[in-house]
Amino acid sequence: MAATASAKSPLTWAVHAGVLFLVIVWTLPTFGLFVSSIRDKDQLAVSGWWTALTASEQRKIGRTAAPDTQIEENGKYVLKGNILDDASGAITKFGVRSQQPSAFTAGDTGEMPNGAMMTVDANGDYQLVSDKPWTGSRGKRIFYTVKAPPRFTLENYANVLRANGLGQSFINSLTVTIPSTVIPILIAAFAAYALAWMKFPGRALLIAAVVGLLVVPLQMSLIPLLRLYNEAGLILGVPAKTYVGIWLAHTGFGLPLAIYLLRNYIAGLPREIMESAKVDGASDFDIFLKIVLPLSFPALASFAIFQFLWVWNDLLVAMVFLGNGDDQLVLTGRLRELLGSRGGNWEILTASAFISIIVPLCVFFGLQRYLVRGLLAGSVKGG
């Protein structure tokens, strides 16, 4: 026994190391996303999340006070002020030309194109001195590099939560997701029991068809399914772009995986239980309702996790079957609009990501203890 335990020890360490590696690979990006979501948006735009605890350098452009604020000292015309205003940080470099924004060190004096002299201190104080009066209606441009300390804020989350229509989009997502999770589970549970324990012609072909549907790309069937739904809606008088349409779409896309997963689980249930129930006079419906469903809860919960996560995070199907109206837009669509047309608002993107995963995380942690049991059941013994 000691020799056996010793022989397995390296394998155990390898498994533990592999699990630790996978945990790090999955956790590190999420941690980086969270750090980015609470960083100042200016610092986030110029440096990665791993530099969040170090000072960051940002190149900026500012303007001096207007020429009408100039004063005359010893025959010179002087403009004074502070370029940083209320911002934190210290200026390290500055320049007087756009081609050389970091030509001078803070505290030095640089010559401007018109012959005037400019001095910028580390605290942002500037002084422009000229032999001639300053003219124009706007201040002169100053190019400077500021080294700012790390700054963390909840302003990114506040901007997302204050977005117009976010609450309605949250309700829309729940309205889409809950029925789109429950309906395929109800249908798939009946179908899985029939394919596992009921004998009828064509059962093997149906099982093969379900497995084949697992590999059909979603994008390939979107347009045909939408046309079919619209044509059926015209006949039945049902308008397009309704919740019924998106419920049916998500049900159709989720049924193959649901039937396959539940069928494997139900087929692995003890045959003796089924035979004893039939000897006692129970019908297939009674067996399914009173025996199979309670025993199949791990498989039902594991599929519910997958289906809920997929539907909650979906954007493509929602845009096609539900539309983009304010009263129909789901949460992912609303967050997409906050990013703008170019998608460059990283502070909105990172904060939106954590706001959108709150509900899926609650569902996952509530049902995760059933996940592995539901996925592995039926992998060794099947009907």
- List, for residues 46-82, the tens digit of each pLDDT value: 788 888 888 888 888 888 989 888 898 888 899 998 8
Cross-strand partners of 35:
none
Instruction: Give the residue-averaged pLDDT of 110-128.
Output: 89
Helix, strand or coil, per DSSP, at residue 48:
coil
Please tell me the pTM assigned to this model.
0.71
pLDDT of residue 383 exceeding 60: no
More confident site: 161 or 187: 187
CA distance 184 to 192: 11
- 29 is written with which tokens? 């990006």
What are residue 154's phi and psi, to 5 degrees? Answer: -100, 15
- How confident is the model at residue 183, as a pLDDT? 94
pLDDT tens, position by position, 269-309: 888 888 888 888 888 888 888 888 888 888 888 888 889 99
Pairing relationship of beta strands 117-120 and 125-130 according to DSSP bridges: antiparallel
The tokens for 192 are 């899985």
Given a contact cutoff of 8 angstroms between Cβ atoms, the answer to whether 345 and 277 are in contact is: no
- Give dist(CA 174, CA 143) in Å, integer: 49
Residue 374: which pLDDT band, with cuts at 50, 70 and 90?
A: low
Q: Which residues contact 234 (CB under 8 A, 6 or more apart)?
A: none
Helix (H, G, I), strand (E, B) or coil at 280: coil
Mean pLDDT for 90-110 is 87
Q: What is the pLDDT, as a whole number, of residue 381? A: 44
Tokens (6 digits) for 367: 């049902």
Whether 375 shows a pLDDT value over 60: the answer reads no
Euclidean distance between CA atoms 209 and 95, whole angstroms: 70
Which pLDDT score, from 0 to 100, does residue 118 have?
92
Percent of the chain surpassing pLDDT 90: 13
| Residue-level pLDDT at 342 | 55
Percentage of the residues of the chain whose pLDDT score is greater than 70: 92
pLDDT in tens, 124-156: 899 999 988 888 888 888 999 888 888 888 888
pLDDT at residue 378 tops 60? no
If you count them, how many residues does the chain have? 383
pLDDT at 180 over 90: yes
Predicted local distance difference test score (pLDDT) of residue 120: 92
- Between helix 346-356 and helix 358-367 the angle, nearest 10°, is 30
> What pLDDT, on the 0 to 100 scale, is given for residue 338?
76
pLDDT > 70? residue 7: no
Residue 160's pLDDT is: 85
Q: What per-residue confidence (pLDDT) applies to 182?
A: 93
- Give the pLDDT of residue 308: 92
